Amino acid sequence: MGEVIPFVTKEEADRVAYAVGVIEWVTEKVLKGNGNFTDEQGEKIVEATKVLDQYSAEEIVLFFNRSQEGGKE
């Protein structure tokens, strides 16, 4: 079984990293009891979801694990 390399370009990887950051921010905000979002924030959440929906959970996890191990450039 070959290695899965989900993100071909740095731009693509940056988009995914940003989207993950948005979702983490939403999670933290909701866990603190604040589930109110502005329209602009809602649009960013929708966009982040669309970006992440393009990949499997495995692809995203592999990318972040590879990055922490000093992955390929």
The pLDDT value given to residue 2: 52
How far from 31 is each of 17, 26, 34, CA to CA, in Å? Answer: 21, 9, 7
Q: Any idea where the domains of the chain sit in the sequence?
A: 10-66
> Residue ranges of the chain with pLDDT lower than 50?
1, 69-73
The pLDDT value given to residue 19: 95
The pLDDT value given to residue 1: 46
DSSP label of 4: P
The pLDDT value given to residue 30: 95
Predicted structure pTM score: 0.76
